[in-house]
Amino acid sequence: AGGEQEEDGAEEKKEEEEEVGSCWGEPPAKRVKSEAFGEDGEGREDGAEEKEVVEQKRARGQNKSRPCMKPNHYEQTRLCPSVTQGCAEKCYFGSRCRFLHDIREYMATKPADLGHSCVLFETFGKCIYGVTCRFAQAHLGDGYQNIVNVDLAKQWEGKALVRNNLPKDLQHQLRKRKFSFRRAEEYLRALSEPRGDGGKGGKATGCSVEKEEMSNCTAPREGLGDSPECPVLPEQGEDPKADTLQSSGPTSGEEASSIQTVGPVTDEDVIKLRSCEKKKLEIQGKLYLAPLTTCGNLPFRRVCKRFGADVTCGEMAVCTNLLQGQSSEWALLKRHHTEDIFGVQLEGAFPDTMTKCAELLNQTIEVDFVDINVGCPIDLVYKKGGGCALMTRSNKFEQIVRGMNSVLDIPLTVKIRTGVQEKLNVAHKIIPKIREWGAAMVTLHGRSREQRYTRGADWDYIAECAKIASPMPLFGNGDILSYEDANRAMQMGVSGIMIARQVPGGALIKPWLFTEIKEQRHWDISSSERFDILKDFSNYGLEHWGSDTQGVEKTRKFLLEWLSFLCRYIPVGLLEHLPQKINERPPYYLGRDYLETLMASQNVDDWIKI
């Protein structure tokens, strides 16, 4: 700022100015605080003050000293996937590949095998992980050749065990923003149109669309000229006949290329389904496994399905991450072939992202229903306007439900809580609106956001809301840990019960709860039977996440997460009175054998032993 400088001293002065500027990182008025002065009025040294601030920031939060959970040691000596698949000469990266291509060099640094039998080889006749499998000695021959059981492999050839994978071409379209959201954009344009009374669009547009659909359900359609969406009047100078011809079928180049047809095009492919023609969600009286974040993964759902769960739902998926094509988020939508009634749960705060995500899933994956998460209590979701916050944002909530319902060909369900504040229930006011907006079912968790997962669920209030929701089905959720709790809940007038993750929680503490409810008995399950369940979960995890080092680490991680819930189960044979209550905390006790005592331990070292 002091004018022109000489060329020789310009660089030195510039460095001095940068050092001075870095010292004045914030205004002096902010740095001078009452806490910065001692009792004698003299100021503290700046270095000591900054050191205190750093220490305070480090102390903030929980368990900051915990090391990173992601293991990175196997990344340094990882074998190239092209070698594992038997096509090393076709490596995509060529000479730039940072992975190993020498099998002998890899085997010299590979950790020891964990067992003598590989679950993938025994089940499917072939282990796709080859030499990288941590049980490779079961299927490796001379020269590290991968052995294949041809007869067993033929039985599984062509069968899709897991559906709803993310194809690479779809991921590329999402990342380049080339995916067509035609129906969602039409609805969003209708929202932005001004209303007749001079206000902004939104509620009135949605209501008019709903009323038109209601009238179409009762009156038969006349001719092919009825448009499936809201009619848009042509502007002056345009030929309305040309628009009609263009909209009658996917004749334009872009639409024809995006729609893949198999066989002749029928009316169902061209004409939008009316609300009365949508597939109905007939799950009244069935046992519904709730979407459980982290623990409700595909292997755990397979365990619950084996014990009698009728309806399963994937973990909560964030709609913005799905629209960006994130592989980790799309993995939450995967469906095992044994899950006959399966849905996915979406979380979002705005109608544009939620409506587009609903249309995306409607076109790309196979599900029986889509659920909106309006019950998540965590701050990360709530502060962004999602989860429980939607119960206080009725306008956005309505636009989300109406928009998703307009683009989905399958039923739309909503999961809510009693309210946000503990003593201020608002669910009874919202449920009639949700029914009017077009949702097929509501699930009510009998706690508020402030209660989180503590205290007892308010089943009297759930019964009151079930009467208000009629004829729309309402499922109750909360504090179900025995068949007696389930019977008591069904007597409240609900259409069914959802078994979820209350802390401590039903399905996570005892996945055999579904069997107890169906057989109406208390199952005094032995420790060896519980250990067999853990073995099955481990095998399912190796099938799902892989039997290489990375898959083994991931299976261990989720198994330990689940054991933190399983240890809260109290064996029926040790209880003084039946049934076990959801919030009971027993004293330390010895089981009937060593394994039962180990399973009851709250110590993570004991979980690692298991």
Average confidence (pLDDT) per 10 residues, the chain, 610 residues: 48 48 44 44 49 53 59 70 79 85 89 93 93 93 90 90 95 95 94 67 48 44 40 41 39 46 62 67 91 92 95 95 96 96 96 96 95 92 93 95 95 94 91 95 92 82 94 92 92 92 69 95 95 97 94 95 92 88 80 94 93
Q: What is the pLDDT of residue 211?
A: 45
Cβ-contact 448, 425 below 8 angstroms:
yes
111 exposure class (CB count in 10 Å sphere: 0-12, 13-18, 19+)? exposed
Question: Distances from the Cα of 57 to the Cαs of 50, 51, 68, in angstroms?
Answer: 11, 10, 19
Q: Hey, what are 340's tokens?
A: 């006959």
Strands 474-477, 441-445: pairing kind: parallel
**Entry pTM:** 0.77
Q: What is the pLDDT of residue 229?
A: 41
Q: Left, alpha or beta for 376 (phi > 0: left; psi -120 to 50: alpha)?
A: beta
Is the Cα torsion angle 302, 307, 310, 314 positive or negative in sign?
A: negative
Q: What is the pLDDT of residue 231?
A: 40
Helix extents (H) in 100-181: 103-109, 119-124, 150-156, 168-175
Q: Hey, what are 256's tokens?
A: 């024809």
Q: Which residues of 44-56 are buried (b: 16+ CB within 10 A; e: fewer)?
A: eeeeeeeeeeeee
Type of residue at 457: A
Catalytic, out of 304, 376, 388, 465: 376
| Complete domains list, the chain, with CATH | 74-161 (no CATH), 162-187+278-523 (3.20.20.70), 525-609 (no CATH)
Cβ-contact 415, 443 below 8 angstroms:
yes
DSSP state of 445: E
What Rg do the C-alpha atoms of the chain give, in angstroms?
30
Q: What is the pLDDT of residue 237?
A: 41
Chain centre distance of CA 424: 29
Cβ-contact 78, 103 below 8 angstroms:
no
d(CA 593, CA 526): 10
Q: What is the pLDDT of residue 352?
A: 95
Task: Please name which of 221, 196, 191 lies closest in space to residue 209, comparing C-alpha atoms.
Answer: 191
Is 80 among the residues known to form the active site?
Answer: no
Q: Hey, what are 168's tokens?
A: 């690479």
Question: Distances from the Cα of 389 to the Cαs of 397, 421, 429, 469, in angstroms?
Answer: 9, 11, 15, 21
Q: What is the pLDDT of residue 192?
A: 87
d(CA 163, CA 399): 30
Cβ-contact 303, 537 below 8 angstroms:
yes
Q: What is the pLDDT of residue 506?
A: 76
d(CA 66, CA 604): 14
d(CA 447, CA 424): 11
The single residue listed with the structure tokens 């979407």 is 291
